[in-house]
Chain A
């Protein structure tokens, strides 16, 4: 039997080796070879993840932990940063999702990038991303997590700007990196605060120290640390106010959007909070803030989704919105449901992004949904799988999204830390989701074709459709691992809540005291009915009464414009923060450096020079003058002595 250390090393290093192989032959245009190398690395990681998870399953329920210590990274004073990994039920889910969905996306990319000039470079970056993402989820301390955290940001930057000859794409990459850096600065402050309060940044040690702590309020180290870490999460996971980079990030190749900007990297913030659940529960104020930010992000992003005409932008805002749901979940203490939604969302959103990639590929890089329509007939597999993703995201049972989203909403309504108002915002966001996703389906796949006559859409090749089919299956059955007790009692055999049983021992013990089963069933029914009605309304508006959307738009007038322009947040950031800062900097340079400091030194230099010149005239070699100095001097001396 191979030791777990070796397995963990293989898991992490396989993609790194893939990165080096493809990175060194970055000029190669052979997509097949590069893709096979990179996918091979991803699949090796996936297999090791499965083996590790199986080993975890074999362990007793309370001791499900596999750890490996590799080396000391930094040892300074009493600060030590260890390169050591932890596989527990939480990170096991993450490594399975990251490497599993990651492998599928690698394989899909072989087809998608086949016409690109630099596929080897692309696959190298993709593998580098996997490596960093695995560091992020496997690290047993905040510092290793931060290494991965910044590393995935770097890969995101490189991949968003992959087609860097386009200025806008390069700018999108830069925007992503810098926005994320704002979050990262918060993350760093969080690490410092925790280290000074508890002398460690190791997750297990922190969790062990928590029971000693009794603190409430905003200013204690725990609340501050949680606040700082949450700022980090808003950057990486695109929450208000730092979500602005994610829609722009769609400039990258579509499989990248699927992997990084939907399924894995952007969920890192949720994972981090779940990982730190022992700490976060001690900062109830911050938890409330997280829930509010999550709920608002879910709703506001969903609203923007109504107005977008770029297929990827719709999906991007949908991702922001779904991440909002996850934060709403962790905010009300529903850590397990948040992880559940993270997982199902990875399946169905990766599916839909890859589906959109298939569509864009078929449409020759056209992304405007107003120029699509009727693609269902031309692309049956893409349509069929996308349909499953759509059913999953709008929350129709028995598709995956239903179970996870409803569980979050249930705890928001009935949990001890929830609030009916938050539930209402969440429910509105869910209704909105049903509307704009149906609109997307209607405009892309259904109705009559508006496709340009020069474009002949066709179904994608097998290496692209097979990942779609696998993800579609997962989007259906992925939710069955978490069938709520309220429903399970009606199903023969009473399936247990597998995910809950799996993950709860690794979380902070927390009794959310949810309400009666009847209420849960009623809420479930309500949300399914509302979603269906909303979906039907969208269907009717975009396929039957086509004048209606324009009518509504006109009636809304200004309000529509505000939403369509994304609440002018980008404009605000540029107009009120970035441009003034650049102006200030130019001012500093011109006035402080060039005019003030330099001019002052010139003045001082002139003073010295002038003084020297003035004194020089005293000794000009004129004897009479020297004689006069002597006389004056003697007189002065006499004067001094006499008086």
Chain B
């Protein structure tokens, strides 16, 4: 079996609310898998089921070839986890927490630990109560990256990190991938997922709505362009890869496929540009488009 994680039709209800409603997820061994969805979509619930901290009400699940509920302790030797909201013991120092988490997992590589502390610019002598959210996250990340495991489960791990530290994080994940480890990366930041992941699963309201390689989902990565022009850009509507074009006087808005950007910018330059804003689509826009597509 070459799937590190295989979930099939997971269902989990809390009272009246259905947190998971038939969720499917397959993470192949050795890949970095992006787990995308808006807040409240069920990412954390899925991860808690994977960690044996919650039991699914329905569906089947296997983790590293075992049952995450019944064989939790054995399976946990082979994985490491960074929660989305890291809370630590206020009276312990960061270094003490890293070593505690490392030791219960069977020890960690002291050289890698020192290297990671330096790269993440984390002072391990500070008490955890004095750390900011980002620094608490770094403690959990150092403990995770310094341990020798097959699978890393990371739940929105960059939420509190600044851009510099995000770059360090990205390098660390790519290094894990080079070493043949499997990473499940939950996120709601599309650009992060695009940089790191081989395949992604997109979930919404407890259900998987898209799953596949990034190339498969290329249609999802359109750039949104807003421009104020000096003259009319008449050729734009005819260009391939331009969608949802609206013109309001001198203001223009459209969605552009990645490979059509060069042609679009050339056309805009010809008309003369006063202001220009481009931004990757937000996840919500993607979902909206996905559901519009399904309705048609």
**Chains A and B belong together in one complex:** no
**B residues in contact (CB < 8 Å) with A:** none
**A residues in contact (CB < 8 Å) with B:** none
